[in-house]
Structure formats: C-alpha cells, structure tokens
Amino acid sequence: MKKKFKLEDLDCANCAAKMEEAIKKIPGVNDANVSFMTQKMTVDAEDDKFDDIMKEVVSVCAKVEPDCKILM
C-alpha cells in the first residue's frame, strides 16, 4: 500500500533526508520519500501491517524533527 501524507513544520532538507532514511529502515517498509520542498511524505509499506508501520513512522519522525507533524 502506498500513501501520501502532508507534513507540517518540517524545517530543513537535511531533516527530511534523515527522516526518509530512518523510515526506510523500518521492517515492512518497501520505500519512502520525504520532500522538504513540497512538505509531503510518501510511504509504501505492507498492507496488512500499514497502521502499525505508520505508528513507527510517526515515532521515528518525532525523534528526528520533534516539531514536524504528519497530517493523517
């Protein structure tokens, strides 16, 4: 399953790159893309575990950029 999410308060391109790298390491994630320019994130992950994976994505992103919100 591939879904797009809008990001709020993502401060820099470096943080976006760190978030993308961390998301790709989560088990069950096939691919991820975090764009600082468009303030959007795309996550491609296993359908049956998508909700659990997204909880992990939110947690990982909060560690990299505490002010950034993922609008579900």
pLDDT digits (tens, 9 = 90+) for 31-53: 999 999 999 999 999 999 999 99
Give the model's pLDDT for residue 55: 97
Over 90: is that where the pLDDT of 19 sits?
Answer: yes
23 C-beta neighbours (distance < 10 Å), count? 23
Residue 72: inside a domain: no
Give the model's pLDDT for residue 72: 87
What type of residue sits at position 69?
A: K
Q: Give the range of the structural domain holding residue 41, as residue numbers without chain letter.
A: 2-67
Q: What is the CATH number of the domain that holds 57?
A: 3.30.70.100
Calculate the alpha carbon distances from 65 to 19, 42, 46, 48, 55 in Å. 8, 17, 25, 27, 15
End-to-end CA distance of the chain: 15
Mean pLDDT value across the chain: 97
Residue 27: inside a domain: yes
